[in-house]
Structure 1
């Protein structure tokens, strides 16, 4: 499973694009290795993270939620790529968290990485003492631990 996560993390990091939405210079999609996002008011952008829900690996938007005056959360979606249809978890996948930039300012988006079915929601983890640290890299070093990923969003 580590290789699936490593491959997916590398793929997601490679998907960071610098093309803007709506004619601006902000990024359209940001992977787990990029934690600082700058966009223009009115832009839409996506946080894309590697995941394999079939193997119990999921991401959740955690509290505190981003400032609704700066960005609004548009929803979460997922997709799986390739793999053997008859072999559960053989494909790479990704989960996407979509946002729209509303007004100039800075806010944070906190995502919770839950591997191996260790948690079923952000609220479930928020009620317990784990995780205690925020990671600074993608889920490649230790894909067996629950971790928070914090993104700083700046709207111009």
Structure 2
């Protein structure tokens, strides 16, 4: 004869609560990418996203000071990331100064497939360069800023390692 243990009502309630908590935690994890951050700043250089996620690299912009950002070579692997373009949001513009005001530049991407690729942004402050080609034409090598570097007053490359899972 086989005896089966029947849990007490207290044990059954504990199991039910634990199961509900586990389910809720699973739902939170599943939607973390949906509700999680989609904008990453200059200090966030190692980024992991899911295939299909849209995200933005967000950098400070002061075009009135001649500061510009460019997507530089090597371009990210197009099989892993789709570059959707860039735009700026400038606040407190002064109508007397073309491009006046501080703001933010955004580089928009969509994660396409699993893999790892690099996105390189060139920071050109104080009209120090007008394009990626300008930096290649100079004799002075342009340094790569590390994750703790804030945009300074010399050109620098900002490299982001993007992993799509």
TM-score (norm 2): 0.72
Cα-to-partner distance string for 1:106-149 (whole Å, 9 max, x where unaligned) = 00000000011111111221233444421114664x72100000
- Provide the rounded CA distance (Å) in 2 between the counterparts of 1:21 and 1:61: 30
Q: Name the structure 1 match of 2:89.
A: 79
Instruction: Report Cα offsets for 1:10-40 as digits up to 9, x if no partner.
Output: xxxxxxxxxx999636631001111111111
User: Following superposition of structure 1 onto structure 2, how do residues 84-103 of structure 1 map, counting pairs within 5 Å?
Assistant: 84-86=94-96, 91-103=101-113
Contact 1:30 1:46 in 2 (8 A): yes
- Paired position in structure 1 for 2:143: 133
**1:152 paired residue number:** 161
- CA distance in 1 between counterparts of 2:138 and 2:124 reads 14
User: Quick one: structure 1 residues 90 and 76, their matched pair in 2 at CA, closer, same or farther if it must change by over 3 Å?
Assistant: closer
**Structure 1: tracts of 5 or more residues without a match:** 1-19
Asked if residue 143 in structure 1 is aligned to residue 152 in structure 2, the reply is yes
> Which structure: greater helix fraction?
2
Number of aligned positions between the proteins: 136
Structure possessing the higher radius of gyration over alpha carbons:
2
Structure-1-length-normalised TM-score: 0.76
Structure 2 residue runs of 5 or longer lacking an equivalent are 1-29
